[in-house]
Structure 1
Amino acid sequence: MMMSQHRSIGLVCLLLLACFPLVEAETVAPSITFDVDHGVVFEDDLFTITGVSTISLNDVTWELVDVTSDVVLASGSFLDQVIPDGEDAWTWSHNLTVNEPGCTCRFVVDHAVVSADLLMFVGSPVTWSPVWLDEPKGRVLLNDDSNTTVVLDVVFPPQRANGSTVEIQRCPASANQVCKSPVSTITLPLQHEGSTSAVVFEPSQWSPEGHWAITAMTVVDAVLSRSTPVVWQVLHDATPPSVSIEATDRATESDPIVIVVNATDATSEEVAVVDVRATGPTGVVQPLSGQTTTTGFLLHPHLAGEWLVAVTVEDGAGLTKTVTHSITVLNLPPEANVRLNGAVIESGDRLSVRAGDAFLIDSSASKDTASDLLNLNHVWWLDTDGRISGVETLTNDRFPEAGSYEVRLEVVDDDGASDELTFTLEVIEEDVPLREAAVLGPLLLILVGFGLALLIYVRNRAQVASIPTWPGEPDS
């Protein structure tokens, strides 16, 4: 009995657990960090570096590199001490010895999934120099008269940032950074705020406009120690791109219009179409699709009136220019077409049908441009009073009585343009006496003909009997 109760309780617990959502364990991003910041100073040649990690450090390598000469001073395949510190956490330490008088060094720890490095100044300050943490990326853009301030990711030895400069060797260049004239040197002061260092680029110092290649940029600290040089580039372009639109000034509704965009930028040698749109007569904006490298676009105007095409281009410095082009779209009037049982009816025709016979008058073959055809309105006028709107066909039910009908079809498009076609339809009722005459007439003609033939025969016989004979001749 007790075992049965225990099983029941166990089943209830399992059911309750199934009702609660499972909470997934948070995934910790792999990382290796140091307990000190970049630019730490170790005055002794024997020192210890410590840090923490979110991954096991059983399989790591390390290097101690002299930044100035790029020489590896020491390396290894394990850290001296790694201690677990809770879930997904480890503390570590490593002892280093520098036999040189000193160095500006970078200690690099490399794991299969993550790596980290620490910039340090070791030993004698005479050996220290500024160091780039990361070389500059991209390029400096000077696209107006304003100065541009750029933060440099550089670390200075202690007390050497103030009074530091950046020495730049540069030349006017092509877009692919090939110098077009000899290299010149310019020295710019560095500005410091806390641990941040920045340099100011003045457009007047980079003239003429165009691409500039920085073949070597070196940071010089207060005691004239020099960093390793890096390369960079500057684009001075304060002139917007040139753009024009090639397109017709007049077109007919629904005809495709080719929009050709001609865009150039002599300064940056880079230009892209960023937006092409057309505004219709009702104010609705229609974007014209295309890639940024496309210079040809198609406009399909569905309404008559004034259309405005606007094109925006952007050059390599981020400067944009927009131009517009007006197009007058003309409406083509519709063309009325009517058929009677498939036979084409021309305006002014006079047609006859028998009363009681089924027939169909169809105007569905009326023509208009594709954009107007679906909204084409068909209006029928029967004599002077009858008006039927919105239908394309008339059947014999619309003409219940015999007689002559004046029929007019008017087709009107959504722009108010129209065309019409007029014809006369006679509905003839068949006459019974005429039908009987048609049967008796031929019979009467036969009887009259037979009577005439008999009369001629009798007269001929009478003339033969009265001819005289000579004596002695036998009578004929």
Structure 2
Amino acid sequence: MGQIDLSFITDSWCVQHMSTHMRSRAILSTVVLILVLLPLTAVDVGAQGTNEPPTLFHFYQTDGDHFDEVLTVNGTSSVPLQNVTWQVVNISLFDQSEVIVSGDFLSSVIPSGEERWSWMLSIDVSGVDCTCAVEVFFDGLHEEEPATIIVYLGQEMATHRPVLSPPEQDLYLLTTGMLHLQLDAVTPDGSLNGSMIYATVCEAPSSVCLVESVPFKLVATYNDYVQITMDATDLLLPDGFWRFTVEMEDRTLKPSNLVNFTIHLDRQAPIVLLSHTLSSNTQVENAAQNNDADVPTTPEHTEIFFIAEVSDGYAGASEVLTWSKTSPSGSQSAFADASFISDSSVSLVPDEAGEWTIILLVRDSAGHLVRSTSSIMVENQAPTVVLTLDGLRVNDGDSVMLPAGDSWLMSANQSVDTENDKPGLTYTWYLDDAMIHTGVSLLGEEVVRLMEQGTINSEGTQSMRIVVTDDDGASNEVTFFISSQVDSMKGSQGLLGANTFTLALVIVLVLSSLLVIRMGTTPPKESLPKWQRKKE
């Protein structure tokens, strides 16, 4: 890229001033002389200008330089400058701005090394008096923040005002100790001596004031820049987000522009209240981290909700909650996603008896960390035995007559326990305290076999007992008494026999006897006359 034609600058001078040709040549000579005498050390506009440029673009000049008739700035760049545009903006009235002049290319761009260019911008500013900002854009669309330098143009001092640069950040966190904020500032006379800053403040959790701003006194020192110092201990503001608006007056009492920044003041850890609900819907507060509180008790496999109430004491506060649990066996684990009702509430269905501890870590946006715990005691529930014989309920102490020769089924599979324990229930059957079967909930053929073998006594009544045990060792049992139908008929076996045929035969004989007797005692309704022969 070669030298860019500067004839448009000369033409502009001729049209606007119509002075002698010697004056134009004098101006051009002045430009050349300035370029020769410029320092060789580049100054990064991001360090001394009002805005950090988005690219490695440097001004040799510094904020607050004065120019009359011709504004000439130059510097270096480490990126190509073919899309550069620029404008000079009048900011003498800080609530208004006016573009005085603009252009689509620099006056000159000369390669000065590998990936390095020297550039110059020369502008006729005759008759212009202002506090101005020279802005250079790199994308050609003015969508990025420009590289900016503040200059004073002309001799009219009434238009020259101090300029206060905003701090590097918009938001600062203050929890303990001291906070130092540096504000770059320039004045028309080049000195900050005798300058003063004035501030107002409002609570603004979203960078928007909740109430009207009020004056606030800030501690500041003035050297090459303005340094504001805030002490977390002495700052007379409660915790919260505070929006400061700062203005500076120079020693001639000329006010500067306004700059804003927000202080996030958080000196206290959040207050955390951890509670839980039990099956009775009572709520127990986690007072004093539950260290001295009685540990509540709940049955195993009962759903419990844990609720956290967190307060940092000011609008806009935010916290991150981390939940975990410790089982009676000492294993610590996080809650599954399905256990979360919300960020501040979780559900627990304990499947192990013993003490469970819920751990909640709360970290606020200032970095304060609070640990809160809540403990519950989970009790294992012994199973309830439900025993049926062919669908009929058998209760503790009942007597049962087992039908001889018929098929029947004794079942305990309707026994009740918590859902987590029910799959692991074991069933043990006893006959007169001797174990006859274990492991299954159904009994039928085993008893028939024992009857046939004579293990179950056919004479008299015997006790039978079923014991149901869960995986925690808790058990329950039902004891009942059994007898066989053979026993009830044993006494008449010698006379009638013990089978159906004998009984039917006896009934037939009895009925026959009754019929014969009845026929023998009832006279006939009609009889033939008997004739008797007369004796001679």
TM-score, normalised by the number of residues in structure 2:
0.63
Q: C-alpha distance in 2, partners of 1:251/1:132?
A: 63
Does the 8 Å CA contact 1:190/1:197 hold for their aligned counterparts?
Answer: yes
In the alignment, does 2:420 pair up with 1:368? no
The alignment of Structure 1 onto Structure 2 pairs a total of residues equal to: 429
In the alignment, does 2:111 pair up with 1:64? no
Aligned sequence identity (%):
22
Matches within 5 A, 1:42-121: 45-47=70-72, 49=74, 62-67=86-91, 69=93, 70-77=97-104, 95-99=122-126, 100=128, 103-109=131-137, 110-112=139-141, 115-121=144-150
Q: 2:499 matched to which residue of 1?
A: 434
Aligned counterpart for 2:517 among listed residues 432, 446, 452: 452
1:219-239 deviation per Cα after TM superposition (whole angstroms, max 9, x unaligned): 679999975221223343323
Aligned counterpart for 2:329 among listed residues 272, 275, 282: 282
SS at match of 1:401: helix
SS at match of 1:446: helix
1:57-89 deviation per Cα after TM superposition (whole angstroms, max 9, x unaligned): 56x75422245543322124566678999xx99
In the alignment, does 2:444 pair up with 1:411? no
Q: C-alpha distance in 1, partners of 2:244/2:180?
A: 20
1:236-263 deviation per Cα after TM superposition (whole angstroms, max 9, x unaligned): 3323333323434333322223334333
In the alignment, does 2:198 pair up with 1:186? no
SS at match of 2:100: strand
Q: C-alpha distance in 2, partners of 1:116/1:215?
A: 23
- Counterpart of 2:263, as a letter, is V
Counterparts in 2 of 1:385 and 1:91: CA distance versus 1, 3 Å: farther
Matches within 5 A, 1:272-311: 272=319, 274-285=321-332, 286-287=334-335, 289-292=340-343, 294=344, 296-311=345-360
Q: C-alpha distance in 2, partners of 1:383/1:238?
A: 75
- Per mean C-alpha deviation after superposition, the further-off stretch among 43-52 and 225-234 is 43-52
Counterparts in 2 of 1:98 and 1:34: CA distance versus 1, 3 Å: farther
SS at match of 1:240: coil
Does the 8 Å CA contact 2:219/2:230 hold for their aligned counterparts?
Answer: no
- Counterpart of 1:452, as a letter, is I
Q: C-alpha distance in 2, partners of 1:133/1:180?
A: 22
Deviation, 1:420, is 0.7
Deviation, 1:303, is 2.8
In the alignment, does 2:439 pair up with 1:390? yes
Q: C-alpha distance in 2, partners of 1:166/1:309?
A: 55
In the alignment, does 2:267 pair up with 1:238? yes
Q: C-alpha distance in 2, partners of 1:397/1:227?
A: 103
Q: C-alpha distance in 2, partners of 1:298/1:252?
A: 15
Q: C-alpha distance in 1, partners of 2:223/2:486?
A: 109
- Counterpart of 1:261, as a letter, is A
1:246-300 deviation per Cα after TM superposition (whole angstroms, max 9, x unaligned): 43433332222333433334356736462344433223345363544x4x54333
1:399-451 deviation per Cα after TM superposition (whole angstroms, max 9, x unaligned): 41323564322122333322111223445569985232023122212332344
1:120-175 deviation per Cα after TM superposition (whole angstroms, max 9, x unaligned): 2546798585553666412x33323x1134465x4769996997988351346475
In the alignment, does 2:172 pair up with 1:143? no
Counterparts in 2 of 1:178 and 1:420: CA distance versus 1, 3 Å: same
Q: C-alpha distance in 1, partners of 2:380/2:195?
A: 70
Does the 8 Å CA contact 1:50/1:92 hold for their aligned counterparts?
Answer: yes
Q: 1:132 matched to which residue of 2?
A: 165
Q: 2:209 matched to which residue of 1?
A: 177
Does the 8 Å CA contact 1:306/1:326 hold for their aligned counterparts?
Answer: yes
Q: 2:374 matched to which residue of 1?
A: 325
Q: C-alpha distance in 1, partners of 2:263/2:61?
A: 28
Deviation, 1:178, is 4.2
Q: C-alpha distance in 2, partners of 1:37/1:423?
A: 106
SS at match of 1:400: helix
- Counterpart of 1:411, as a letter, is V
TM-score, normalised by the number of residues in structure 1:
0.70
The structure carrying a bigger strand percent of its residues is 1
Q: C-alpha distance in 1, partners of 2:248/2:426?
A: 80
Deviation, 1:334, is 1.6
Counterparts in 2 of 1:198 and 1:332: CA distance versus 1, 3 Å: farther
Does the 8 Å CA contact 1:143/1:319 hold for their aligned counterparts?
Answer: no
Deviation, 1:342, is 1.9
Q: C-alpha distance in 2, partners of 1:303/1:253?
A: 7
1:9-47 deviation per Cα after TM superposition (whole angstroms, max 9, x unaligned): xxxxxxxxxxxxxxxxxxxxxx86535478476867243
